[in-house]
């Protein structure tokens, strides 16, 4: 017996198969076009985001470059870029003047020399404390939280003066120049409400763990401790040149990190741990 031959597809079946293959091919092409379209759209989005980032960086750098080299000093600011507390509610008043980066030395101070204005206190005068701090510095926040109560007690007993040289070393770690803005806010309060300066400074450092404050937050914190409204002072950048001056002066004077603390002309080693005992020894030596 001869084997039967296999059934060949009919013309209708062949047409149906061709249509199905054509449909599958169209669907595959449509899926491919959709994927290509998505890739193009996401590519456009990525390009726009990249452009916006570049523009933001340009704007930020432009704004930073707009801070003048010269500007006013706060009424509570001295020639070294410091703000001197004589009690927890009093800031030493200096003749209001200006600062100018052009007046700073062209070369760093020789190693081992004390920064200007840092010296042993004279007989019968309070012990001099000078602190270089940055509001965005975790170790400064720790120093302030550890010693704020003791500093306040010494100040109100007339046993020390406390000079803050608020620097902006850590702007490089902030997209909003928080170190400069915080130091500027401190200068605004020293100018407008010196009686609130100590509490405002303590509040700024106490806020460290909550992250950077915007200008409204800084103004609100100042208001909460009884200071006058500093919103305009901040928005106009009144004391940003002062902050730049203090920062560059500190760099020229060899201040490599914060907090750096001097007590009666001597640098305090490991200040967070040793400041209280070191300072009390100086106070006791005055009898």
> Can you give the CATH number for the domain in which 140 is found?
3.40.30.10
Residues 154 and 269 in one domain: yes
Residues 15 and 150 in one domain: no
Residue 120: inside a domain, yes or no? Answer: yes
Tens-digit pLDDT profile for the chain (287 aa)? 444 444 566 766 666 777 777 777 777 777 777 777 766 766 655 555 455 444 444 434 444 458 999 999 999 999 999 999 999 999 999 886 899 999 999 999 999 899 999 999 999 999 999 999 999 999 999 999 999 999 999 999 999 999 999 999 999 999 999 999 999 999 999 999 999 999 999 999 999 999 999 999 999 999 999 999 999 999 999 999 999 999 999 999 999 999 999 999 999 999 999 999 999 999 999 87
Residues 179 and 270 in one domain: yes
Per-residue confidence (pLDDT) for residue 67, from 0 to 100: 92
Residues 127 and 142 in one domain: yes
Residue 6: inside a domain, yes or no? Answer: no
Residues 20 and 89 in one domain: no
Can you give 112-171 as a three-state secondary structure string?
CCCCCCCCCCCCCCCEEEEEEECCCCHHHHHHHHHHHHHHHHHHHCCCEEEEEEECCHHH
Q: Are 14 and 21 in contact (CB under 8 A)?
A: no
Per-residue confidence (pLDDT) for residue 47, from 0 to 100: 56
Alpha carbons 221 and 203: distance in angstroms, whole number: 7
Residue 1: inside a domain, yes or no? Answer: no
Residue 279: inside a domain, yes or no? Answer: yes
Residue 181: inside a domain, yes or no? Answer: yes
- The pTM assigned to this predicted structure is 0.77
DSSP 239: T
Residue 171: inside a domain, yes or no? Answer: yes
Give the CA dihedral 78, 189, 199, 128, nearest 10 degrees.
Answer: 0
Q: Among the three residues 66, 87, 111, which one is the final residue of a domain in this structure? A: 66
Residues 34 and 140 in one domain: no
Alpha carbons 125 and 159: distance in angstroms, whole number: 8
Residues 149 and 85 in one domain: yes
Residues 169 and 280 in one domain: yes
Residues 163 and 254 in one domain: yes
Residue 4: inside a domain, yes or no? Answer: no
Q: Among the three residues 28, 45, 66, which one is the final residue of a domain in this structure? A: 66
- Tallying the residues shown for the chain, one arrives at 287
Residue 5: inside a domain, yes or no? Answer: no
Spacing of C-alpha 245 from chain mean position: 16
Q: How many domains does the chain have?
A: 2
Residues 36 and 88 in one domain: no
Residues 44 and 160 in one domain: no
Q: Among the three residues 37, 66, 95, which one is the final residue of a domain in this structure? A: 66
Range of the domain at 85: 69-285
Residue that has been written with the tokens 């490599």 in this structure: 256
Q: Half-sphere exposure of residue 182, counting CA atoms within 13 Å on the CB side?
A: 32
Residues 187 and 247 in one domain: yes
């Amino acid at each position: 017996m001869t084997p039967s031959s296999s059934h060949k597809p009919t013309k209708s079946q062949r047409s149906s198969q061709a249509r199905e293959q054509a449909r599958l091919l169209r669907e595959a092409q449509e899926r491919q076009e959709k994927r290509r379209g998505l890739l193009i759209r996401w590519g456009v989005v990525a390009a726009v985001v990249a452009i916006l980032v570049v523009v933001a960086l340009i704007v930020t750098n432009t704004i930073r470059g707009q801070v003048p080299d010269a500007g006013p000093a706060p009424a509570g600011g001295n020639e070294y870029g410091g703000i001197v507390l004589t009690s927890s509610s009093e800031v030493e008043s200096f003749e209001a003047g200006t600062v100018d980066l052009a007046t700073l030395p062209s070369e760093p101070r020789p190693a081992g020399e004390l920064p200007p204005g840092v010296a042993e206190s004279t007989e019968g005068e309070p012990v001099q404390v000078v602190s270089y701090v940055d509001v965005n510095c975790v170790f400064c926040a720790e120093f302030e939280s550890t010693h704020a109560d003791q500093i306040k007690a010494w100040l109100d007993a007339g046993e020390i003066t406390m000079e803050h040289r608020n620097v902006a070393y850590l702007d490089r770690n902030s997209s909003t120049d928080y170190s400069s803005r915080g130091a500027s806010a401190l200068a605004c309060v020293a100018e407008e409400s010196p009686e609130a300066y100590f509490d405002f400074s303590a509040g700024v450092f106490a806020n460290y763990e909550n992250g950077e404050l915007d200008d409204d937050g800084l103004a609100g914190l100042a208001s909460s401790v009884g200071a006058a409204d500093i919103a305009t002072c901040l928005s106009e950048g009144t004391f940003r040149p002062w902050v730049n001056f203090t920062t560059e002066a500190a760099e020229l004077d060899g201040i490599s990190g914060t907090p750096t603390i001097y007590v009666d002309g001597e640098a305090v080693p490991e200040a967070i741990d040793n400041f209280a005992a070191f300072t009390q020894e100086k106070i006791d030596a005055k009898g």
